[in-house]
Amino acid sequence: MFTRETLLHNLHTHILGKKIFVFDTIDSTNTCAKVLAEINIENGTIVIAEYQTEGRGRLGRSWISDHGKNLLFSIVIKPPIHRSRVGFLPLYTAVSVAQALESYLNIHVECKWPNDILINNKKCCGILLESSFQTDILRYAILGIGINVNQDRFNEELFETATSLKRELNTSIDRVALFQHIVCYLDGNYILLENNDFATIVERWIKRAPMMGNEVTIIHGNEQTTGIAEGIDSQGGLIVRCQDGVKIFYAGDVSIRSSKR
């Protein structure tokens, strides 16, 4: 079981993780973080749980995770960025988690737009970003991070597409140390948000995104579009060259079809 003491022990950060709320069971760490953000909890506050009864994923999906095996946490951040730049927050989060996984586990990970992290083409981490604005400036964002760490089995629906770090590495991972690594990378990269240095975030993200330059299919609502992923636009959207011109996506699910993969 996580404790505040172990999670904070030797955690040397500037902004993130100065305050941390630890739960065994909660509905959703994102829902809790949102309530705290609404009462103006300090920048960098983290909510972490061993189990969620109503874990939420993107596009109204649920996030299912065994008790005591994974990392389920949400961080309240308050960089004063413009509404038009909020699309970079998933990329900032994904890059930071990817850097932490690479450095702590010495593995190769890939980023899939907008905010999945894959190992060997299977998803090991999902990110749910929720935000609130005052006029056009970000009031707070909740970075909800779910990582399949020591999960052994996945249900039939997820079996083909999901994995855990333990499954990929054949060994159990120390969740506290990994959590601290991730928080340190998010904390180190936070300055990029403060400085509006989205170019560096995109550069680090693209380095880990094999979909760039390849054919992708984007499903958004009832629409399906196929084209070549060409880059990230000035708002964090995905630029896709289709037969009938260039389109930019700000939401959706991407599948990648490529001979290079």
Applying CB under 6 A, the span of 78-86, 120-128, 220-228, 244-252 interacting with ligand BTN comes to: 120-128
Strands (E), 9-135: 20-26, 46-52, 71-77, 110-112, 116-119, 122-134
The Cα–Cα gap between 178 and 107 comes to 13
Q: Is 144 in the site for ligand BTN (CB under 6 A)?
A: yes
- By CB under 6 A, is residue 164 in contact with ligand BTN? no
Alpha carbon 89 to chain centroid, angstroms: 9
CB of 4 to ligand BTN, least distance (A): 18
Rule CB under 6 A: is residue 58 a binding residue for ligand BTN? yes
The nearest distance, CB 233 to ligand BTN, in angstroms, is: 22
Structure-derived torsion over alpha carbons of residues 57, 104, 99, 2, reported in degrees to the nearest 10? 40
Question: Three-class SS of residue 142?
Answer: strand
* Interaction between residue 151 and ligand BTN (CB under 6 A): no
ω into residue 79 within 30 of 0, thus cis? no
Site string for ligand BTN, 2-41 (x = CB under 6 A): --------------------------xxx-----------
Which residues contribute to the site for ligand BTN (CB under 6 A)?
Answer: 28-30, 52, 55-58, 61, 63, 72-74, 116, 126-128, 144-146
